[in-house]
Each structure stands twice: as C-alpha cells, then as structure tokens.
Structure 1
Amino acid sequence: MERTTAYLAGIGTALPGEAVDNIALGRALGVSAEWIDVFVGTSHRYFGRDLSTGEVRRTLTDLCAEAGRNALAAAGLEPADIEFLVLATATPDTLLPTTASEVADLLGLDQLPAYQIQAGCSGALQAVELGQALLAAGARAGLVIGGDVTHRHLDLRVDATGIPGEELVNYVLFGDGAGAAVLTAEPVAEAVAVRGVLHRLVGRGRPAGQRIDWYGVTDRDSERPMLREDYKAIEEGVPTLAGEILWELLDRLGWRPEDVDYLLPPQLSGRMTERIVQQLALDGPREVSCVARTGNTGNALPFLQLEQLMEQMEEGERALVLAVESSKWIKTGLGLERVGGVE
C-alpha cells in the first residue's frame, strides 16, 4: 500500500529556566566540572526544578504545552485546525490522566484523539509515524510532541561522591525539555516532506540497555535505583545500530549518501554523538546536533534538532534523522526533503 506523504509544517521547543553549566552542576553534586566535560562532553542542560530546593517549577505538561503552542505558531495554524495529538514520553507526570490529555486541555484541544506513547529516545519518531498514519486515514493536520523530565528519577540534591560511576553518569547526562511538530497532509509553512520512516524493535533475546522503574504503595521504600543504564552496552551498541538505520533508510528511500545534505545523529551525549558521527564516516552531510548544549532530553531531542534544521534547510535539500532507544533496543529514523510548495 502506498504511504501518504506527511509534511512538517512547523517545529516548536521548550527548555525550562536558565541553562545549568558544568560548574553549577558539579557544585550541586560534589563532582568536578572537568570530569563532566571529559566524560560526557555536555556543557549545559536545563531543569524544571530548583537545584537547591528541589521545587518543581515546570512540569512535563507545562513544557509540552509550550512546545505545542510554539509549533502551532511556526506553522501558522490555530488549535481548531488540529485533528489529533500524539505525545511520546518515558517520564509522564502521572499515569492517569495521561500527559497527552492534560496537554490537549492546556492547548484548548477537545473532541479529538489524544494518544500517548510510552517510549524512550525513539518515541518522538514513533509519534511522527503514528501521525503519518492518521493523516493517511483522513486527518488534515495534527500535533506530535515529545518530552521528558528528570525530577522523578534523579535527586540532584544528593552528595554524589559515593555513587557508583554507572549511576553517576545519569546525573550528568540528562536534562528536561520538550519539542513538537505540526504534521499536515499538504505542504504548508515549512513544507518539509517525510519521505520515509523506519521503526524496528531489534532487542529479542538481548538484555535491556536502560531501565526506568516506578514504585507503588507496596515497594515505595525499595532501594533499587529508579534509573539504570548499562553504559558499556550502550557505547558498544548505539553506534552500530545508528549505522544500520542509516543504510536501511538510504536503501528504502533510494538515496545515495551523496544525496543527503544534513545528518541528525543520535544524541546520547556530546562525546557519544562525536563517536557515532566518526563511525558513520559520511563526508558530505552537515551534522545537526544539540545535546552538548541541552543535555539528553529524551524525546525532545529530535525536535530540538529539527528546529535547528529548519533554520538551515533549503528547498530541494534532504536530511536523515537517526534515533536509537537502548531500553529494549529500538531503531528509528526519518528521511526528510524540503519541497517548498505544492507537490
């Protein structure tokens, strides 16, 4: 069956508060700023809570609603034009109501489907894939959103000097943020066509690389960590999977490497992204990355990259977006082309 083309009409993002540099984060955790820079290569990140008091000032719902409003403004559309909402996150504010429904309420959306995808770094592109299917079913415009926050899983007020290295890395990798895109059935505003989508679970029989837990009334005093990562497995696995996504997308699209103008690689950390880009070894495409300046914001990352892309991309230019989720190993990707006008 021929897949209906979807178009990115506008991108919006939201980052809370002022940027937190490595000096401020290192002071809060009791670790050196130099260690953070050398180990993860991330200079800044943003938090929706106060580092000194722990007070949550911006929730995931707040950030996603702001990103959604910004995307609508960029597309030149009103809430009344939106016929569906899809939100991807690994860190919802509550299990129920869903963050998707709360965001819809803040945006003034009603009488429309509001989906929530529980996923890590692949969720944003899963949301685009679902949005494309809803357009194929007859919708004319919809809003896809991705975002994550850290306050429920990481306590930045602890003395981190005694935390094992495999846990400490999480305290310096992540930040809070959200992003959104307006998807349309016709090329309007930014008019970037989604030429191809890749989404595959490839983790059968493979241990999870990342696990985010949650507690209930019977185990709220458990000492097991809320967030666990096998960083060695991630370092080994993500670059390989990124290469697979690249070549599978090119094959599916019928493009050659020299046909690609921009590369949006996976964004685990500044150091990891450097390693991935070096291993992909593409000479032509211009890299579009953000994680070194924003921290790892999970499902917000592809939208933060796309916002940068929109500022650079000319009519006829093409881009590949690659995202790897290490939880149970999911490969996702997009092939994009700016078309400018009616096709």
Structure 2
Amino acid sequence: MSVTDDPQAYIASIGTALPGDPVDNQDLAARFGIDPDWIEVFIGTRTRHFAVDLDTGTPRQTLAELAALAGHRALAASGVDPDDIGFLVLGTATPDALMPATVNLVADRLGLDHLPTYQLQSGCAGAVQALDLGRTLVTGGGHKAGLVLGGDVCAKHLPLDQDFSRMPASELVNFVLFGDGAGAAVLTAEPTGARLALHRVLNLLTGLGREPGQTVEWFGVADRTSDRQPIREDYKSIEQAVPVMASETLWELLDAQGWSDDDLDFLLPPQLSARMTEKIVAHMDVPAAAEVSCVADTGNTSNALPFMQMARLLDRIETGQKAIGVAIESSKWIKSGYALEKV
C-alpha cells in the first residue's frame, strides 16, 4: 500500500477548464433520442460539457488545450513564479495520442521547458496518482513547486453515427454519464496561496484475480474493424463494489492520519454519477462532514473530478478544517484518496 507520510506538500491553488457550453438533459435527449426523465432518475446528472461537436463528431478542444488552460489558471492563482515550477505530472485515461505524451504538449503551451515531465495512464484514480507523485517530488525531490494535472476527453471514444434507438441501456448510459474537462494544482514545499496541506495520499490496487469493471478500447490499424464496444462497464459489479471500496478508503485514510470521523469537516466522495454518489455517501456514513460534489453539473470527467471538487472546497474550507477525498477506479479496482487540512 502506498500511503505517504511526513514531510508534506501544500496545494497553493487549483485551476479547472471545461469545454464549450453545458449540455443539459433536454439537449442530450433531443440529440440521442433518450428519455430525459431516464437520465434524471438513473443518472442524476443535469449538465455536462463535451470537447467534440455532437452533431458532426468534430473535435473542438484537445486534452492538451484543456489541461494547459487549467494549468495556466492554477499558476495565475498560486502566486508562484513559473521559474520555480520544477516538474509537470499529468494523470489521464485519454491522452491525445500515444506519442508525443500529452503532458509535453501541455508544457509547451505553458512555456515550460528544461524540467521533468511525467504522464500516468489511469482512469479515475489517475489524478490521485499524479498527486502522489507530485507530493513525492516536492517533499523528496528538492523541488520548490510543481504542477499536477488531471483530465480526460471521453467523448472522442463514443461513436456518434449510429441508431441510438436500438442501443441497449448498458451502452447508451456512456453517452449521458461522461463529460470532458481538466484540472490542475500547484504543489509547493512551503504553505502559500490556498495553504492546503496535502497530508497523505493513498493509491492501492485491489484487483488481483478480479475481472475489470470497465474497459476502454484503443483501436489500432490491426483491429479498428473489431465489433467490440469502445467502452464497456459491468455496472452491477460497480454498484456493488464502489461504495464498499470508498468506505474502506475513507477509514484507511482516517486511521493513517489519526483522525476520527468526527474530526472530518468535508468529504469529497467518488463522482461516478449524481445517483451513484448519493449511494456512496450514504454508505460512507460520515454525517458530520459536508459533502463536496460537482458531478451533477460537470458529468463524470474522470481525472478532472478531484481538482473540480477541490476548487469548490477552497471556497468553503477554513483554517484548521480537514477534508478527505476518495476516488475509486473500477477498471481494475483501484482505491485512492487524500487527506487535506487548511493551515
């Protein structure tokens, strides 16, 4: 298990970016022939943003563009000199290409050069893995500061030229569940800016011998004619496993930090969908902690979500207050999370 201990890093600022105007359920229903009431009842998401044009399938913004915008906003809000940024880390499941790595395109857009860059390929846990690596680089790598990013453009994996009236609900749900976006955090070795201490980060694979809960294909020349679905989920397994895994992650972080559930002021729960988040929060059962969620407005933006939640947290958290964030990746059952405190 990876649970980092003292010394600690600090989050100086958060930046986020969403592509285009929000797409509400009525707009989505008209485009795909979906009952908007079905979206509300089973998914609970009100709006989401897409980096592709839903009518033409044409890309409007790349992940590199969104991540660079989020990174620029985080840097501008941090008060940190860009010359003090010692590294870039990006967590994503949907890079723009196999090569060059998207993180290097982001660095180029931000005008950053002669510094190490890292790209971590992962689903919903990727942003937390990026925070874990960034924290290690700040606390043990001699860097004053670094930029950690997370984001995904999921819409590019969804084929739009098909008869949605014939599509089973298990496939159709992907068109209403996900959204696109990016987020960024400036990590520092000393408290500055938002002064949010990143006490601990947990990153734990628990999928030995278990079938994946989610698969996202990346078709190449040899198999692009395959009839496999580009995205597949085992929703029954996800609904059963994720609330349990989220609760386990919460208590592992509380125990490692020496906090009780009564010490917790804010909870940043997994953001699969608005309805699933309700179930997860009920299972985690920490009534003293205020929930910080965004998925109902943004859709499931995967690796952007923790940053979007932390952006909302910064508007609410006061000195001395504590928060725990949890992200669960169902692709191969990864538990991840982090402990925060305003100092």
Task: Give the TM interval when normalised to the shorter protein.
Answer: over 0.9
The code of the aligned residue for 2:52 comes to: R
The equivalent of 2:285 in structure 1 is 281
Out of 6, 11, 16, the position equivalent to 1:13 is 16
Deviation at 1:4, TM superposition (A): 2.1
Supply the distance in 2 between the matched residues of 1:202 and 1:237 (Cα, whole angstroms). 11
Spell out structure 1 runs of 4+ moving beyond 4 A.
Answer: none
The code of the aligned residue for 2:205 comes to: L
Supply the distance in 2 between the matched residues of 1:4 and 1:212 (Cα, whole angstroms). 37
**Contact 2:273 / 2:295 at 8 angstroms: preserved in 1?**
yes
Deviation at 1:79, TM superposition (A): 2.5
Deviation at 1:77, TM superposition (A): 2.2
Out of 115, 121, 129, the position equivalent to 2:118 is 115
Deviations 1:243-269 (A, max 9, x none): 100110010000000101000000000
**Contact 2:5 / 2:200 at 8 angstroms: preserved in 1?**
no
**Contact 1:28 / 1:156 at 8 angstroms: preserved in 2?**
no
Deviation at 1:111, TM superposition (A): 0.4
The equivalent of 1:325 in structure 2 is 329
**Contact 2:127 / 2:306 at 8 angstroms: preserved in 1?**
yes
Supply the distance in 1 between the matched residues of 2:99 and 2:172 (Cα, whole angstroms). 30
The equivalent of 1:209 in structure 2 is 213
**Contact 1:156 / 1:171 at 8 angstroms: preserved in 2?**
no
Deviation at 1:2, TM superposition (A): 5.6
Deviation at 1:226, TM superposition (A): 1.1
**Contact 2:15 / 2:71 at 8 angstroms: preserved in 1?**
yes
> Number of matched residues?
339
The equivalent of 1:232 in structure 2 is 236
Task: Give the TM-score, by structure 1 length.
Answer: 0.97
Deviations 1:164-208 (A, max 9, x none): 221111111001000000000000000100111111000000110
Deviations 1:58-113 (A, max 9, x none): 11111000000011011112432210000000000000000000000000010001
Supply the distance in 1 between the matched residues of 2:117 and 2:322 (Cα, whole angstroms). 30
Q: Judge which range, 54-63 or 174-183, deviates more.
A: 54-63
Supply the distance in 2 between the matched residues of 1:45 and 1:158 (Cα, whole angstroms). 21
**Contact 2:269 / 2:292 at 8 angstroms: preserved in 1?**
yes
SS in 2 for 1:336: strand
Deviations 1:279-330 (A, max 9, x none): 1111101000000110000000000000000011100000000000000000
Supply the distance in 2 between the matched residues of 1:166 and 1:51 (Cα, whole angstroms). 20
Structure 2, unaligned runs of 5 or more: none
**Contact 1:41 / 1:271 at 8 angstroms: preserved in 2?**
yes
Supply the distance in 1 between the matched residues of 2:155 and 2:327 (Cα, whole angstroms). 24
SS in 2 for 1:83: strand
Task: Give the TM-score, by structure 2 length.
Answer: 0.97
Supply the distance in 2 between the matched residues of 1:27 and 1:233 (Cα, whole angstroms). 30
Out of 20, 28, 32, the position equivalent to 1:29 is 32
The equivalent of 2:258 in structure 1 is 254
Please state if 1:223 is matched with 2:227. yes
Out of 157, 160, 184, the position equivalent to 2:164 is 160
The code of the aligned residue for 2:311 comes to: E
Deviation at 1:157, TM superposition (A): 4.6
Deviation at 1:158, TM superposition (A): 3.1
SS in 1 for 2:336: strand
Out of 76, 88, 102, the position equivalent to 1:73 is 76
Supply the distance in 2 between the matched residues of 1:211 and 1:53 (Cα, whole angstroms). 25
Supply the distance in 2 between the matched residues of 1:4 and 1:116 (Cα, whole angstroms). 24
Question: Cα 1:121–1:2, aligned 2, differ >3 Å: closer, same or farther?
Answer: closer
The code of the aligned residue for 1:290 comes to: C
SS in 1 for 2:86: coil
Out of 118, 126, 130, the position equivalent to 2:129 is 126
Structure 1, unaligned runs of 5 or more: none
Deviation at 1:131, TM superposition (A): 0.5
The equivalent of 2:49 in structure 1 is 46
The equivalent of 2:340 in structure 1 is 336
Supply the distance in 2 between the matched residues of 1:156 and 1:79 (Cα, whole angstroms). 40
SS in 1 for 2:315: helix
Deviation at 1:159, TM superposition (A): 2.8
* 1:141-220 equivalent positions in 2, closer than 5 A: 141-220=145-224
Supply the distance in 1 between the matched residues of 2:5 and 2:276 (Cα, whole angstroms). 36
Question: Cα 1:193–1:293, aligned 2, differ >3 Å: closer, same or farther?
Answer: same
